[in-house]
Every structure is written in structure tokens, then in C-alpha cells.
Amino acid sequence: MKSRSMRWSAYGILGVLVFSLVRAITGSSDLTSVGTFNAALLLAIPIALAGLGGLFSERAGVVNIGLEGMMVMGTWAAGFWGYQRGPWMGIVMAVIFGTIAAAVHAVATISFGVDHVVSGVAINLIAPGIVRYLSVIVYQDSNIPGAGPTQSPSVQSIGSNGLPFLSGGHVLGWQSPDLLGSIGAKGWFFISDISRILRGLTGDVSYVTMLCLLLFPLSWYLLWRTKFGLRLRSAGEAPVAAESLGVNVYRVKYIGVLISGALAGLAGGFLAIVASSNYQEGQTGGRGFIGLAAMLFGNWRPGGLLMGSALFGFSDALQLRASDAVHSALLVIAIGFAVYAVAQWRQGRRVGGAVTLALGLGVFALFTYVKELPGPFVTMTPYVTTLVVLSLATQRLRMPAKDGVPYRKGGDS
């Protein structure tokens, strides 16, 4: 256990070292800037939360394609109640609206045995219609500035904080010193880089972001270290066996799907209140599906899906903030390929190593000969990066054995 955590820290330090090196060579300061990592967090959380929602549902054996629709419900509720009763109420109502949408999915799939994908797609189709309908009723003829059938008025900001002493957080109104920030501004190789990265992740972070991040270790503990978690996972792996041991599989599945909706709703609420400041029709923009994909590639584990989302959020932040940094990131990728090739070679996988090395050289050539990447290529970086890294990192995926299989009490498998 200890050696494993040490190995991961070594990987982390090595990664930051490569980034600082590339930053120093190319001069793309956004590769390790405070702003990039702060934005990465904002972009990653909605995806990660949707993925975590998918995790609870699929671990209980119910495929949840409807995450996107549940998120949509969340964004709308966040905009409406956030405007009326303040941002925290908006978050709470987002969770409730997501849960309501999930309840529909639960009744359809668990009680009626409807195909999980059909029910999920139905939710994705109906949710945008419902929120448009509600918006027309409450906003169309109102005179609230900024309100309309496609958007809610502005919601107040929820407030943010950072680690005291390290990242300039405030304690009871007292502004503590910003140690990481001042080291980050120094321009020391590597040390300033790592300070900026940590400052970006721990400073000026919304309270909701902190809560959301806490949900990941909490979910892991709940699912893998408690009786309830064992029952929930057994409903996804072997529901009939679980039933024979006295587990109320229906109830467990219901709980899983409802938690799933609550988390997707929270993802929507986060998007509307923290990442922006109002409900905007279509603002989810497929994040529910990306979250679902992060969960699949993350091998149905909270840590894996969080890593996938973080990677996506980081590359998305990079491409949105500075296209030149994406060009520099090519050098990082080339180095990454080279290191991976060496690792493969040492494990005796000569052919694989050669292919990886060739890929690395190709990326390096791209970095050297193309000075500016065209816009469309910059925009697709997050998708490509996440796909490549995750498919290299996770070569053995194992979904819950009875995921997506309708379960009937008293039936045999």
C-alpha cells in the first residue's frame, strides 16, 4: 500500500517536472498557471459529478443514459430557485429536480422492466421540453431583466475560499497570507510551477466545489467499505445471489438510481450557479454523456472517473484559455509517449514500444513543424487527449456483471 502511494507521488512529481520543463522551453506560461488549474477544476467538476452519478446507478445494475436529462433538470431548478431564494437553495432544488427525473427512470427500469437505454433516452428527450415549458410559464411574460424562455435571471455568487496561509483563504473575515501564490510568482523553475498548480487547485475555490470534491472519497467509502455499499454492488454483480441472502434488491437499486439523479442534478446546479451564474437553455452541452464516458473509462471506480474528468477539464481549460499552450502541450505529449515507450521496451514489449515511440516522434514533428494549430484541432484536444490517455491507461475494463440486465424478483439468472 505504501509503495503504491509512493509510486503515484513519484509519477505526479515527474509529470509536473515535464510540464515545468516544457513551460520553460516554450514560454507558454498557461501550462502551469494558477488560472488554468482553477478553470480546470470548474470544468471538471460537472463532468465528474455526472460520472459519479452514473457510477451509483450502474454499480446497482441500472444503466443510466439519462444523466444529461437529469442535469438539464438541475440547471433549470438552480436558475429558478437560485434567483428566488439564493444560490444554496438553488443547489438544493437542483439536487431535488435531478432526483425527480431519476425517480422516473427508476420506476420505468426497476419496477416495469423497461429497457434501460430506452428509458434513459426518453428522459434526455423529455427533460429539455419540460424545462422549456416551465420557462415559458414563469419567465416569458415576466418583466425580470434577463429572464426569458431560454434563460433565467442572474443568480448570486455562492462565495469562495482557499486554504488558510497556503492559498490566501480567509478565516472569519481575516485574510490570511498567500504563501503558494507568492512562491508561484517568483519564477523559480519547478518550485514556482508546483506552487502555482497547487494554488490554482486550492485557492479561490467555491464552497460547492469543496463539497463536490468531498463526495468522491465519501462515495468510495460508502460503496467499498460499508454494508450498504456491498449490497448495492451485489445488486449490480449478482442480484439473484443477493436476493437469496435476503437483500431487498429492488430497494437497493432504487436507492442507487435516486442517488445517481441527485448527483446529476447537483452537476447541473454546479454548472448553472458556480461555473456560470444563470440557467441557460442547452448549457449542459453533452457534459452528462462525457461524464458517462469518464465513468466507463474510469472502470466504474470513483478514482478512475475523477482522473478522467480532471484530464478532460485540464485540457479543456488549456484550449479555452490559450491556443498556444495547446501547441506546447504537444511537446508534453511527445515526452509522455517517449517515457511510455521506454517502459514498454523494458517490459519486453518491443513492438508496442516501437509503435509508441513512432507516435511520440510524430507528435514531436507536429510540434516542430506546425507553428499554430488550426482552431478546430485546438477545440478537439480535450476529447483526443482523454481518449488516448484513458485507453492507454485502462486496458482491462470490467463492468458490473449484471449491469443493464433487467432483474425480476424470484426469477433466475
Partner 1 sequence: MRLSKRVLTAAIAVTTVALAAPAAMAPANAKTTVKVGLAFDIGGRGDKSFNDSAYAGLVKAQKLLKVVTKTVSATAGGAATEREDKLRLLAQAGYNPIIAVGFLYADSVKKVATEFPKTRFAIIDDASIALPNVSSLVFAEEQGSYLAGVAAAKASKSGKIGYIGGVRIPLLQKFEAGFVAGVKATRKSATVDVKYVSEPPDFTGFADPAKAKVIAKGMTDAGADVIYSAAGGSGKGNFENATEASAAGKPVWTIGVDSDQYLTASAAEKKHMLTSMVKHVDVAVFDMISAFVKGKKVADNLGVGAGITGRRYNLKNNGVGLATSGGYLKKLKIAAAVNAAAAKIKTGVIKVPTVPAA
In the bound state with partner 1, the residue whose beta carbon lies nearer, of 93 and 271, is 271
Q: Which three cell numbers stand for residue 16?
A: 509536473
Residue 27 φ/ψ, nearest 5 degrees? 80, 10
CB of 227 to partner 1, least distance (A): 28
In the bound state with partner 1, the residue whose beta carbon lies nearer, of 22 and 108, is 108
CB of 143 to partner 1, least distance (A): 10
Nearest to 368 by CA among 313, 327, 412: 327
CB of 260 to partner 1, least distance (A): 19
Positions in the binding site for partner 1 (CB under 8 A) = 30, 33, 35-36, 39, 42-43, 46, 108, 111-114, 118-119, 122, 125-126, 128-129, 132-133, 136, 139-141, 145-151, 153-154, 157, 271, 275-278, 280-283, 285-286, 316-317, 320-323, 375-376, 379-380, 405, 408-413
In the bound state with partner 1, the residue whose beta carbon lies nearer, of 39 and 264, is 39
In the bound state with partner 1, the residue whose beta carbon lies nearer, of 223 and 290, is 290
The span from the CA of 316 to the CA of 338, in Å, is 24
The span from the CA of 299 to the CA of 396, in Å, is 8
In the bound state with partner 1, the residue whose beta carbon lies nearer, of 113 and 303, is 113
CB of 271 to partner 1, least distance (A): 6
Q: Which three cell numbers stand for residue 343?
A: 517502459
What is the SS3 assignment for the chain? CHHHHHHHHHHHHHHHHHHHHHHHHHCCHHHHCHHHHHHHHHHHHHHHHHHHHHHHHHHCCCCCCCHHHHHHHHHHHHHHHHHHHCHHHHHHHHHHHHHHHHHHHHHHHHHCCCCHHHHHHHHHHHHHHHHHHHHHHHHCCCCCCCCECCECCCCCCCCEECCCCCCCCEECCEECCCHHHHHHCCCCCCHHHHHHHHHHHHCCEEHHHHHHHHHHHHHHHHHHHCHHHHHHHHHHHCHHHHHHCCCCHHHHHHHHHHHHHHHHHHHHHHHHHHHCCCCECCCCCCHHHHHHHHHHHCCCCHHHHHHHHHHHHHHHHHHHHCHHHHHHHHHHHHHHHHHHHHHHHHCCCHHHHHHHHHHHHHHHHHHHHCCCCCHHHHHHHHHHHHHHHHHHHCCCCCCCCCCCCCCCCCCCC
In the bound state with partner 1, the residue whose beta carbon lies nearer, of 261 and 313, is 313
CB of 113 to partner 1, least distance (A): 6
In the bound state with partner 1, the residue whose beta carbon lies nearer, of 53 and 153, is 153
CB of 264 to partner 1, least distance (A): 16
In the bound state with partner 1, the residue whose beta carbon lies nearer, of 327 and 360, is 327
CB of 177 to partner 1, least distance (A): 17
CB of 316 to partner 1, least distance (A): 8
In the bound state with partner 1, the residue whose beta carbon lies nearer, of 52 and 104, is 104
In the bound state with partner 1, the residue whose beta carbon lies nearer, of 248 and 280, is 280
List all residues 6 or more positions away from 79 whose beta carbon is below 8 Å from its beta carbon. 90, 151, 152, 153, 155, 272, 278, 279
CB of 133 to partner 1, least distance (A): 6
**Contact assessment for residue 207 and residue 196, using Cβ atoms and an 8 Å cutoff:** no
CB of 204 to partner 1, least distance (A): 9
CB of 135 to partner 1, least distance (A): 8
In the bound state with partner 1, the residue whose beta carbon lies nearer, of 30 and 193, is 30
